[in-house]
Amino acid sequence: MFIQNVAFAVLFYAGTIFMINDLGLSGRDVFIAVFAMLFGAMLAGQANSNGPDIGKAITAAIKIFKIIDTPS
């Protein structure tokens, strides 16, 4: 949780700096960008944890299709 909160703080700080320097960003733009980055990172982490299971599923599907394709 500490890392997640630090990431929020850093991203909001950077967004504030961008808003102060008149780069054309509004508060809404900063919130959208921060949440898109954080949710994208969290979903990528969850998808990465399923990697070994996906490999096993592909192997199982290949075995099943070999059994189905075997002439009787």
**How does pLDDT run across 3-34, given as a tens digit for each residue?**
878 888 888 888 888 788 877 777 788 788 88
Q: Structural domain tally of the chain?
A: 1
Amino acid residing at 69: D
Return the pLDDT at 40.
86
| 72 three-class SS | coil
The DSSP output letter for 71 is -
DSSP 14-70: HHHHHHHTTSS--HHHHHHHHHHHHHHHHHHHHHHHTHHHHHHHHHHHHHHHHHHHS
Categorize the per-residue pLDDT at 63 as very low, low, confident or very high, splitting at 50, 70 and 90. Answer: very high
Phi/psi at 24 (nearest 5 deg)?
85, 20
Q: What is the pLDDT of residue 66?
A: 93
For residue 72, is pLDDT > 80? no
pLDDT of residue 65: 94
Q: Which domain holds residue 18?
A: 2-69
Residue 51 has pLDDT above 80, yes or no: no
